[in-house]
């Protein structure tokens, strides 16, 4: 298995080194080895928590209950996560000119913490909260989560994490930027996404339609694998990116 992984990582590295505008598209799987569980799969968050806590109507009606679970999952637990070699390699690739942007579905900010500069957060971020009434934004570090729900100091409105809930639209700027990068991409590097959530999952298909070469890293086959993937590196993010890094930066 490792041989096939090496062969495909070497092929992917040569495609990426010759690319003009490679773009990465990441999902929860890239952060699993940083200790953040995925949403789906046997260890998935949705097998332990009810996704309704992230439904806008439920949150608006039960902000305290919702915030209790949100705090447990996304702040008490995620807050201590560190970037792994996959996030770090993507940042190195950007520095060396092999990558132009990361479009991520993740809200954990691990790409930025790894040093990536052009990161498009398609589903928003857990690093900020927004007032449901006056729309003022607060860095998560500037508010207390001791009393829930946290409220806006300006108008007393309930604060909501600045990531999208089920039923919410994609942040406008992130959507526009993602479409632009998808249309420019000649290589799309997909990592750690089931491809089950729209409209995010339509981006790799759009890239393919525009003629992009699709490289996918995932231990499991996905809707992308069957439909559009040109090189499927069947492995975990860290082992795959460690090999990719060796071949890209000639340490291999």
Instruction: Determine, following the binding rule CB under 6 A, whether residue 29 of this chain makes contact with ligand APR.
Output: yes
**Maximum distance among all Cα pairs of the chain, rounded to whole angstroms:** 60
Out of 125, 182, 222, 245, name the contact with ligand APR by CB under 6 A. Answer: 222
- How many Å apart are CA 32 and CA 38, to the nearest integer? 6
219 binds ligand APR (CB under 6 A): yes
Q: Taking the complex as a whole, how short is the minimal distance between the CB of residue 197 and ligand APR, in angstroms?
A: 4
Consecutive H or E run containing 227? helix 223-227
In the DSSP assignment, the letter for residue 210 is T
Total of chain residues touching ligand APR, rule CB under 6 A: 25
Neighbouring C-alpha atoms within 13 Å toward the C-beta of 132: 18
Active site residue ranges: 123
CB of 242 to ligand APR, least distance (A): 12
Going by C-alpha positions, the residue among 128, 146, 145, 127 that lies closest to residue 137 is: 128
Does 161 bind ligand APR (CB under 6 A)? Our answer is no
Site for ligand APR in 98-127 (CB under 6 A): 105, 123
Alpha-helix residue ranges (DSSP H) falling in 71-199: 85-95, 110-114, 172-184
Residue 205 binding ligand APR, by CB under 6 A? no
Q: Is 11 in the site for ligand APR (CB under 6 A)?
A: no
* Interface positions with ligand APR (CB under 6 A): 27-30, 32-33, 38-41, 44, 105, 123, 191-194, 196-197, 218-220, 222, 236-237
């Amino acid at each position: 298995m490792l041989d096939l992984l090496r062969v495909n990582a070497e092929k992917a590295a040569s495609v990426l080194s010759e690319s003009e505008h490679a773009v990465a598209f990441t999902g929860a799987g890239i952060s699993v080895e940083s200790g953040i569980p995925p949403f789906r799969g046997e260890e998935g968050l949705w097998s332990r928590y009810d996704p309704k806590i992230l439904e806008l109507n439920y949150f608006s009606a039960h902000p305290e209950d919702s915030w209790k679970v949100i705090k447990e999952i996304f702040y008490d637990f995620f807050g201590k996560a560190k970037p792994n070699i996959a996030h770090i390699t993507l940042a190195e690739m950007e520095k060396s000119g092999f990558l132009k942007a990361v479009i991520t579905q993740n809200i954990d900010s691990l790409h930025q913490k790894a040093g990536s500069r052009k990161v498009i957060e398609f589903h928003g971020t857990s690093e900020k909260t927004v007032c449901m009434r006056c729309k003022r934004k607060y860095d998560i570090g500037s508010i207390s989560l001791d009393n829930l729900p946290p409220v806006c100091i300006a108008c007393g409105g309930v604060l909501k994490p600045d990531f999208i809930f089920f039923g919410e639209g994609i942040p406008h700027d992130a959507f526009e930027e993602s479409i632009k990068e998808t249309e420019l991409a000649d290589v799309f590097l997909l990592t750690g996404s089931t491809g089950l959530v729209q409209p995010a999952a339509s981006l790799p298909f759009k890239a393919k339609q525009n003629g992009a070469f699709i490289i996918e890293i995932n231990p499991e086959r996905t809707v992308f694998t069957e439909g559009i993937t040109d090189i499927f590196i069947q492995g975990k993010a860290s082992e795959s990116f460690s090999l990719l890094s060796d071949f890209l930066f000639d340490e291999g």
